[in-house]
Amino acid sequence: MSIDNKLDHYFQCGLNCLLRGEHGVGKTTLISECFERNGLVVGESALIFSAATIDPWVDFIGVPKEVTKDGKTYLDFILPKHFAEDNVQAIFFDEFNRSHKKIRNAVLELIQFKSINGRKFNNLKVVWAAINPEDSEDYEYDVEVLDPAQKDRFQIIIDVPYKPDYAYFENKYGADWASAAIDWWKELPKKLQKQVSPRRLDYALEVSKVNGDLADVLPHETAPRRLSRTLRDGSPKQILSNLLNANKNDELKDFLSDTNNVESCMSDIIKYKKHMKRCLPSIREENLSTAIFKHVEVKNHIEEELSKISTIDDPSRYPDKEEASKYVNVLGSICKSNSDKAMSSWASYTLSSCIPGFMLIGGPKLTLSQLADNITERYEINPSPLTSLESSESDDNSYDVETELNVLRKSLRNSKQTSEKQKILDKAYSIVLNNQSMIDKNIVVLDILNIFCERSQKKTICGSDTINTVLGLSEWGINAYAAEKEMNEKNIKILIKNIPHLFTKCLIGEIEENGEFSIFSLTHKAKVFKELMR
């Protein structure tokens, strides 16, 4: 039952009501409108007093006047007109706990017995009052605490919520302005809502109605211009509803490109999956990222949509590629963020569930086992015939190639200068170039490459002076390994675990850029998602 209906019922039952609520919530308006709905005339059959300013003698008991009767002279009280005529049906004391203690004591008899100094008012049905809460967490009111005897005079105590009343605003300003203003107020942080009471919001609409400046009414932190725009153009929530119902997709996209509109409408968007399906892909990536952090509904929706793709053999046939692309890119950015580790882990897990080997390109650091698993998941293995580096073979059969390579490997482990490491790598390349058929243990060559990558920065490895050497030796070494071993999952993972630094600092980037390298190439599914992430 609404407060209006409750007040009407309690008035008709003749019960005394005490309304309790923060300033500006419309307690006085609720009472006066109730009196008017029930046929009373304020100032005649219904009296409204500001309890902080009333005088119990002048306003209730009356003023003394000398009276002579039967030869005897004495003082009697002349009652105020409204009490003398006994037409009063309702009395309301506003801000009752701001009044002086003597005022509250003086009206105790009136509240309980509907009388003053024993004189009964036969038509008086109710005595009502309104107070500010004595124990408010948000404000310090200059009020007195009602003692139990005073509070006990009221059969009914109603708490009035701190929020604008739609019926009041609609009746005064029309449905469009009522919706626009209340939607704007609801989007304010709680701290700012406390600065804009429903009464101040009412003031703002009154000023706007006469073309005044809302900045003169509302705190600047509340963005008064935004309310002005909302009143002019309509409530963002209503605009969103109209666009969705009319299937105006282009206009919807333009509307949701505005951050203010997104913030205003997000509570409505997340109510229904069909709204999220249509709206979230049109939201800017930075706003969508914020929504993921703030609304679990958005997070769950994206997770559910991406999980659908993981069940499709050919993601290129997924009907909502634009939507998937938006989600993949946003989650990819969250993966790289250090602001929330739990959310970053969730994003990595979600993308890993649908994108083959996602951890290689957007996830956290991997263990050897994780690296091997992700590489075998993301890349196809196409064993190639052993290709030779372009060179002329050495005729010196007495030359111990592998011993020389082992010496270089040891030297590389102990070297510190970048130039020294590059010289060792070049020497290894030269040896392999001229003695390919004499090398039985290709793993030594790959080990040299891995040590070089482990002890060098990525920019050095991928620099113009080094990258061709690294790639040439890598292709020869991996192809030689593939020619020697059966390329089953076990042997592939052994290879990967032997050269993890070579993969993470060089080869993965090469495969991602060109689609293939040596025996490795992107799977079809990985290629599709690579396109989505562009």
Rounded Cα distance, 164 and 182, in Å: 7
The Cα 46–Cα 88 span in angstroms is: 6
Rounded to whole angstroms, how far apart are CA atoms 126 and 397?
A: 119
pLDDT of 205: 95
Are the CB atoms for 96 and 129 separated by under 8 Å?
yes
pLDDT at 393: 52
* CA distances to 230, 254, 287, 298, 404 from 251, in Å: 17, 5, 18, 22, 70
Q: Which tokens sit at 164? A: 């604008």
Cβ pair 326, 302 in contact under 8 A: no
Residues 6+ apart with CB under 8 A from 71: none
Residues facing residue 78 across a β-bridge: 63
Alpha helices in 382-417 (DSSP H): 401-414
**pLDDT for res 353:** 83
Task: Please report the pLDDT score of residue 313 as a whole number.
Answer: 67
Can you give the pLDDT at residue 146? Answer: 80
For residue range 287-335, list pLDDT tens digits in order: 999 999 999 999 999 999 888 877 766 666 667 778 888 888 899 889 8
Res. 395 pLDDT band, cuts 50 70 90: very low
Compute the distance between CA of residue 114 and CA of residue 183 in angstroms, rounded to an integer: 43
Q: Tell me the per-residue pLDDT of 330-363, one tens digit each, with 9 for 90 and over.
A: 998 898 887 788 898 899 888 888 888 888 887 6
DSSP tag of 505:
I
Show Cβ contacts of residue 83 under 8 Å, excluding neighbours closer than 6 positions. Answer: 60, 62, 116, 121
Tokens representing residue 496 in the block:
């990967």
Cβ atoms of 418 and 466 closer than 8 Å: no
322 vs 103: CA distance, rounded Å: 71
Beta bridge partners of residue 77, listed in sequence order = 64
351-394 pLDDT per residue, tens: 888 888 888 887 668 899 999 999 999 999 987 655 656 655 55
What are the b/e assignments for 343-367, b being 16+ CB within 10 Å? bbebbbebbbebbbbbbbbbbeebe
pLDDT digits (tens, 9 = 90+) for 140-166: 555 677 888 888 889 999 999 999 999
- Token digits for 445? 């060559």
Asked which of 27-31, 50-54, 84-88, 309-313 is least confident by mean pLDDT, the reply is 309-313
pLDDT tens digits, one per residue of 240-269: 998 999 888 899 999 999 998 898 899 999
Counting residues of the chain whose pLDDT is more than 90, the rounded percentage is 51
Exposed, middle or buried by CB within 10 Å (0-12, 13-18, 19+), for 174?
Answer: exposed
The Cα–Cα gap between 108 and 16 comes to 12
Token couple for 221: 């932190």
As a three-state string, the secondary structure of 375-429 is: HHHHEEECCCCCCCCCCCCCCCCCCCHHHHHHHHHHHHHHCCCHHHHHHHHHHHH
For tokens 């007195």, name the residue. Answer: 144
CB 180 within 8 A of CB 231: yes
Contacting residues for 293 by C-beta, under 8 A, at least 6 apart: 340, 343
pLDDT at 388: 56
The Cα 204–Cα 230 span in angstroms is 13
DSSP H or E segment with residue 334: helix 321-336
pLDDT at residue 191 above 60?
A: yes
Distance, in Å, from the CA atom of 320 to the CA atom of 500, rounded to the nearest integer, reads: 36
Predicted confidence at residue 398, as pLDDT, reads: 46
pLDDT in the model for residue 35: 96
Lowest mean pLDDT among 24-28, 54-58, 444-448, 449-453: 54-58
Cα distances (Å, whole numbers) of residue 46 to 90, 123, 124, 126 = 5, 11, 9, 10
Instruction: Pick 217 or 103 by higher pLDDT.
Output: 217
Buried-exposed string 225-236: b where 16+ CB fall within 10 A, e elsewhere:
ebbbebbeebbb
Least confident of 184-198, 419-433, 437-451, 481-495: 437-451
